[in-house]
Structure 1
Amino acid sequence: MAQSRRRFTPEYKDEAVKLVLDSGRPVSAVAKDLGINEGTLGTWVAAWRRAHENSEDEPLTMSERARLRELEKENRELRMEREFLSKAGRLLRATPSVTDKYELISVKKDCYPVRNMCRWLAVSASGFYDWTRRPSPTSSRRRATLETRVRALFAASRQTYGARRIAAALRASGTPASVRLVRRVMRQAGLRACQPRAYRRTTIPGQAPAPTDRVRRDFTATRPGTKLVGDITYIRTNEGWLYLATVIDCYSRKVVGWSMADHMRTELIIDAFTMAATRTRIQEGATFHSDRGSQYLSDAYQRVLRHHQVHPSAGATGVCWDNSLAESFFGTLKNELVHRENYPTRRTARTAITEYIEVFYNRQRLHSTLGYQTPEHVENLYHTATTNIADAA
């Protein structure tokens, strides 16, 4: 059975456009990361620019345009240099040798110009090319190659992968390595994955009636769109709190719906569920599970669930294990992103969180519960299998 046409909420479109505008990356690259059509994203960007163009601005002269292009080029190079040096600072040792620098340049040569990296790391380009042609003992070369790949995977995971996930990623790429060996390489290279913080209870018992617990801590499902979980968390910014509501599909562990705002009123979770309903086929009679927060028990939200023929479910008050899948995602998000950043504005936080969810978590991050596969891959495998069965019938 063919998949229905994908639909997108206005909030999703706005955040996708912001990823293009704020990052300065091509539309094609951002569209590939988000898993959407390049033409679709290009249309959104063009519409946004038309809506925000200022007709009162005076046109730039030729010299001003030339100077603007120079400044934009300088800005791109400075941004690239800052990004590279930030990664280099995390990957290189406290006192890196010239060989360490050459190895890093070799790993990143597909991402940055070699001569620029040599200048940023204060090594000669000719020396680097001589190093790449220099033979080395087989065992040392294998170990150096393994360490290089481990460093690259660790950096690509945003310093979130431990030895088990890196070993799984190496196996998937055709480089078998035991968890023990990877752990030893990581220890010698000074690579340590970020650690989660302790859980803190935020739901307080109340008198509001709640649905029964239909999930009972079983966060598995036989197909997408049959069992969903949701929750709300908060992110600190210099402008104040930013609240995030999510909807997660238990089958693929994919975040199928989310919404962010400067408040945590009921419309926040309604917007998140609406996004989920537009992006995935929610089966009739599906279950949506949450805690007993007042937003989830509200009449307005219950009407939304009834409209989609979804049964509500809620765990016990203040018991995090009853909604551990949603809690686990928030713990991962904060451990791997939020607690490592400082957000001057809510917009910067929204952009970073959108990119984390849509690009990294859903499409790149290996999930141990899924056998070290990504949520997007697991979901696609299901749809491919069902399509093949339908075609065979």
Structure 2
Amino acid sequence: MGMKHYPPEFKADAVALYRSRPGTTVAAVAADLGVHPETLRSWIRAAGKGSNANSTQPAGPDSSLEAENEALRKEVAELKQEREILRRAAKYFAGRDELVSRFQFVADHRSAFGAKRLCTVLGLSRSGFYRWLAAAPARAARAESDARLATQIRAVHAESDGTYGAPRVTAELRSTGVVVNHKRIERVMRTVGIVGLHLRRRHRTTIPDPTAPRVADRIGRDFTAKVPNSRYVGDITYLPVAGSKPLYLATVIDLCSRRLAGWAIADHMRAELVIDALAAAERTRGSLRGSTFHSDHGTQYTSKAFADACTAAGVTRSMSAVGSSADNAAAEAFNASFKRETLQGQKHWPTARQARLDTFRWANRYNTRRRHSHLGQLSPTSYETALTTRPTTLTQAA
């Protein structure tokens, strides 16, 4: 609690303190000294009268009040300005009040309010803002470079029928001499809204025959091979056609190069379908003798007709466990990629002819051009060609 009676020295010092701080208020000085504002104001008035007793100018108490009023007006003006800054900022950010947006706001409005004032109101470091401002040319150059890269990405993505994601786009650009990091490709694709295709729900085509003879699993989920033409997997996938009965695609896929060595398409799932696919692979390779062919327990693959075809071709059969898709994962993955990249989100083909044509086009592109993550982003035929430069060449597995 302040004193009730103040000595003259205290009063004089209080008045001197107030007069030594231009722009301050009586209330602020009084609070510092622990006296009532009106008490300090009366001392100031008395000191003003005393100092002007012999002056020809009227003393009057209004000078100190005017100074206080001026300070109050200044404070009100600052508050109004702060409110206007925050109002504009709220409209400017529109839900994206990240640091970069705040720096940009300061840059866009500093001519109206000044960078110092804006940084203070928005709680920003002025040195941080000026560092960000100094880096503007580098950001502009990076944005221009990203725009050029986005154009290249769009071209690759379009050429792949809109199927390639970041890994394959990266590989394709690198093959043309573009030096680029895959993380940058991912960032630019995400920024411009380019995405690869994703998996669709598969249609069940495997119908096992419980009375068929058992065939051993010679693959054991090891979907690899050291040389081409030694181990194959195959499956049947369903091709939906609008307003018509579906088509079915049977495949024979090389586990070394992932090449689609043989395939057949028909409007039925009889054993002839898989036999035709095996025959196509035999024509591609010249001979399949000594190789292993792995499939599920569908009735087409357990049929005597298919078993006889494998025997005639010199192929050893291998079968996965009943009901286990993981035991034929390589063929399942191929089917998923085929459906995803040909239908591209559609539920069916408009006609059977279009389904056949799309299958023909995709199968050939898959072998010769489509990059495969399992092959280090090479196409199957490019991978087989690369193998010929190694000591181990494309040999028969006899």
The TM tier, using the shorter chain, reads 0.5 to 0.7
Q: C-alpha deviations, 1:224-256, integer Å up to 9, x for none?
A: 111011111111112211111110011110101
From 311, 324, 330, the equivalent of 1:306 is 311
From 221, 225, 229, the equivalent of 1:225 is 229
Distance in 2, matches of 1:388 and 1:376, equals 13
| Residue 328 (structure 2) aligns with | 323
Q: 8 Å contact 2:227–2:394 — kept in the other structure?
A: no
Task: Write the mapping of 1:1-393 to structure 2, written as runs, cut at 5 A.
Answer: 139-199=142-202, 201-205=204-208, 206-238=210-242, 239-341=244-346, 342-358=348-364, 360-383=365-388, 385=390
Q: 8 Å contact 1:316–1:322 — kept in the other structure?
A: yes
What is the deviation of 1:199? 4.8
Distance in 2, matches of 1:200 and 1:264, equals 14
Q: 8 Å contact 1:212–1:314 — kept in the other structure?
A: yes
Q: C-alpha deviations, 1:332-387, integer Å up to 9, x for none?
A: 011111254542321111011110011x2111111000000000101122345469
Larger relative contact order (C-alpha < 8 A, sep ≥ 6)? Answer: 1
Q: C-alpha deviations, 1:283-313, integer Å up to 9, x for none?
A: 5321000001111111111111111111100
| Residue 54 (structure 1) aligns with | none
Percent identical residues: 41
What is the deviation of 1:270? 0.7
SS at match of 1:365: coil
Q: 8 Å contact 1:221–1:251 — kept in the other structure?
A: yes
SS at match of 1:301: helix
Q: 8 Å contact 1:235–1:338 — kept in the other structure?
A: no
Distance in 1, matches of 2:255 and 2:160, equals 23
Q: 8 Å contact 2:203–2:238 — kept in the other structure?
A: no
Distance in 2, matches of 1:389 and 1:353, equals 27
Distance in 1, matches of 2:322 and 2:187, equals 43
Q: C-alpha deviations, 1:179-219, integer Å up to 9, x for none?
A: 22111111111112121124565435533222100001111
RMSD: 2.2
Distance in 2, matches of 1:266 and 1:304, equals 10
- Name stretches of at least 5 consecutive residues in structure 2 with no aligned partner: 1-139
SS at match of 1:277: helix
SS at match of 1:260: strand
Distance in 2, matches of 1:280 and 1:389, equals 10
Number of equivalences: 253
Q: 8 Å contact 2:262–2:281 — kept in the other structure?
A: yes
- Per the alignment, do residues 172 and 339 of structure 1 end up closer, same or farther by CA in structure 2, a change over 3 Å counting? closer
Residue type of the alignment partner of 2:292:
T
What is the deviation of 1:168? 2.1
Residue type of the alignment partner of 1:286:
S
- Name stretches of at least 5 consecutive residues in structure 1 with no aligned partner: 1-136
- Per the alignment, do residues 185 and 389 of structure 1 end up closer, same or farther by CA in structure 2, a change over 3 Å counting? closer
Distance in 2, matches of 1:339 and 1:203, equals 24
Residue type of the alignment partner of 1:188:
T
Residue type of the alignment partner of 1:190:
G
- Per the alignment, do residues 160 and 389 of structure 1 end up closer, same or farther by CA in structure 2, a change over 3 Å counting? closer
Distance in 2, matches of 1:190 and 1:302, equals 49
SS at match of 2:246: strand
Distance in 2, matches of 1:149 and 1:174, equals 12
Q: 8 Å contact 2:259–2:380 — kept in the other structure?
A: yes
Residue type of the alignment partner of 1:271:
D
- Per the alignment, do residues 338 and 210 of structure 1 end up closer, same or farther by CA in structure 2, a change over 3 Å counting? farther
